[in-house]
Amino acid sequence: MPFTTGHGPAPEDAVVGSRYVARTRLGPLGFDDVMVVREIEAGRRVVFEKVGRLLGGVVTVEITPVRRAAGPDRADGERDLAGGAQVAWEQSITLPWVPGRLRPAAAFVTRVAAPAIGAGYRRVVTKLLDPRR
């Protein structure tokens, strides 16, 4: 995510309860996105809970192995299969500090911002889900 730095354990050292802080800053303005790992199933699934004062919500990433054709048919008429994966990313973002009457507007803003926020997790999640950890 642009203008963001992260702090926390190395992804390969993460366990349930690991805490990450993503600090987004532009000049003197900035905020922390505080997250706690709630579930890890290496190679398959990771769940983060956003527990900061500014951002709340849950991010769930699931990986499903996929076998697909990897090239032309061999001489024996068969085709080699290559491993791959399908990644499903689900994210809810809340603004815990927003008063009740303004929550519909806040929900709209979080839906618009969700893709940009989600991009910041990809690098960490890739290592968290590495089955070799």
Q: Residue 112: inside a domain, yes or no?
A: yes
Q: What is the DSSP string of 11-38?
A: GGG--TT-EEEEEEEETTEEEEEEEEEE
The tens digit of pLDDT for each residue in 50-67 reads: 999 888 999 898 988 877
The tens digit of pLDDT for each residue in 67-77 reads: 766 666 666 66
Task: Name the residue range of residue 109's domain.
Answer: 4-128
Q: Residue 107: inside a domain, yes or no?
A: yes
The model's confidence at residue 85, banded by pLDDT at 50, 70 and 90, is confident
CATH number at residue 53: 3.30.530
Q: Residue 101: inside a domain, yes or no?
A: yes
Instruction: Give the total number of structural domains in the chain.
Output: 1
Q: Residue 133: inside a domain, yes or no?
A: no
Burial (CB < 10 A; 0-12, 13-18, 19+), residue 129, is buried
Look at residue 118 and tell me whether its pLDDT is greater than 80. no
